[in-house]
Amino acid sequence: MLEIIGLEKVYPNGHHALKNINFSVPQGEFLVVIGLSGSGKSTMLRCINRLHDPTGGEILFNGVDTTKLKGLSLRKIRSEIGMIFQHFNLIPRKTVMENVLSGNLSRTGIFASIFGIHSNETKALAQKYIEIVGLKGKEKNRADNLSGGQQQRVAIARALMQNPKILLADEPVASLDPATSHSVMQYLKKVNEELGVTVICNLHFLSLVRQYAHRVVALKAGKLIYDGKPLEINEEWFKTIYGEDAVEVTIN
């Protein structure tokens, strides 16, 4: 469903972040992207939903090249791609319900959204997703008063509210403790398996990768250097991806 062909990204300051990236993601896959900080993982995810504009190559999303889109058609494609972030990026001072409803902005008129007018179906849908991520009863809490893991779950519910075909997760557990990390990963797994949403997830910990990924791609200095099964990443590959001095740290 997603095909990346010869993707290039050069930042205005001359930094060559992505160099000729090629891979495709079939419907329903849980794909994990690994690599050192600065290897281009975040940039690649942001090129898919055009938070960053690629400087070359094509990204085919269900056959449509997203790199050429503008205005309304770009917003339409973005609405089909959910995204969650390392720092959750919820709207501060707003309730859980309001945050989840903000996932539906692309289908709400500008004035209706500003005055907070939502149809009953939309509200029922938001309620359903809040329950799916296990936050029933917290609808009226301020989102920024929740714990990190809970905030990330609100972010997942917000992304689900878009009814996405694909979910991008940019290091979703990097600022969470190990136990909470697993909980959030479990919800992503649930979204992938039960709702059939394709997931592309950037991760740091190989132990999480082995547990949740169907497939792994690795980036190093902007190049794709590994594409295969998580269990096939042995000591040798580990050293190639993370450098000679790296030691694997596990998270259980």
Partner 1 sequence: MKQNVYKKPNVTVLTIKAIILDILAWAYMALVSYKIIYEKIIIDERYPEFAWNQPLYSLYAGALIAAILFFTKLSLGRGLFGLIKFDENESPSSQAFAYIGYLLILLTFITGFYVSQISLKEFLSESGLEGAKRIFKALFNPNWGIFQEGLFAAIETIYMAFIATAVAIPIAFILGFFAARNLMNGSAVAFTFYNVLRAFLNVSRSIEPLVWAIIFSVWVGIGPFSGMLALCIHSIASLTKQYSEQIESIDDGPIEAITATGAHPIQVVWFGVVPQIVLPYLSYTIYRWDINVRMATVIGLVGGGGIGNLLMQYQGQARWNEVGMLVILIAAIVWTMDWASSKLREALK
Q: Does position 106 bind partner 1 by CB under 8 A? A: yes
Which tokens hold the place of 90?
Answer: 């919820």
The answer to whether 101 and 159 have CB atoms below 8 angstroms apart is no
Our CB check for partner 1 shows the closer of 53 and 236 to be 53
* DSSP per-residue string spanning 183-222: HHHHHHHHHHHHS--EEEEE-S-HHHHHHH-SEEEEEETT
Question: What CA–CA distance (Å, rounded) separates 2 from 189?
Answer: 19
Can you tell me which of 83, 96, 157, 173 binds partner 1, judged by CB under 8 A? 83
Q: Does position 90 bind partner 1 by CB under 8 A? A: yes
Question: What CA–CA distance (Å, rounded) separates 52 from 43?
Answer: 7
User: Rounded to the nearest whole angstrom, what is the least distance from the CB of residue 109 to partner 1 in the complex?
Assistant: 9
The answer to whether 219 and 225 have CB atoms below 8 angstroms apart is yes
Our CB check for partner 1 shows the closer of 168 and 201 to be 168
Q: Does position 243 bind partner 1 by CB under 8 A? A: no
Q: Does position 68 bind partner 1 by CB under 8 A? A: no
Question: What CA–CA distance (Å, rounded) separates 186 from 180?
Answer: 10
Q: Does position 82 bind partner 1 by CB under 8 A? A: yes
Our CB check for partner 1 shows the closer of 35 and 149 to be 35
Q: Does position 114 bind partner 1 by CB under 8 A? A: yes
Q: Does position 75 bind partner 1 by CB under 8 A? A: yes
User: Rounded to the nearest whole angstrom, what is the least distance from the CB of residue 248 to partner 1 in the complex?
Assistant: 23
Q: Taking each helix axis from N to C terminus, what angle separates 148-161 and 120-132, rounded to the nearest 10 degrees?
A: 140
Residues that bind partner 1 (CB under 8 A): 13-15, 17, 38, 49, 51, 75-83, 85, 87-94, 102-106, 108, 110, 113-114, 155, 158-159, 162, 168
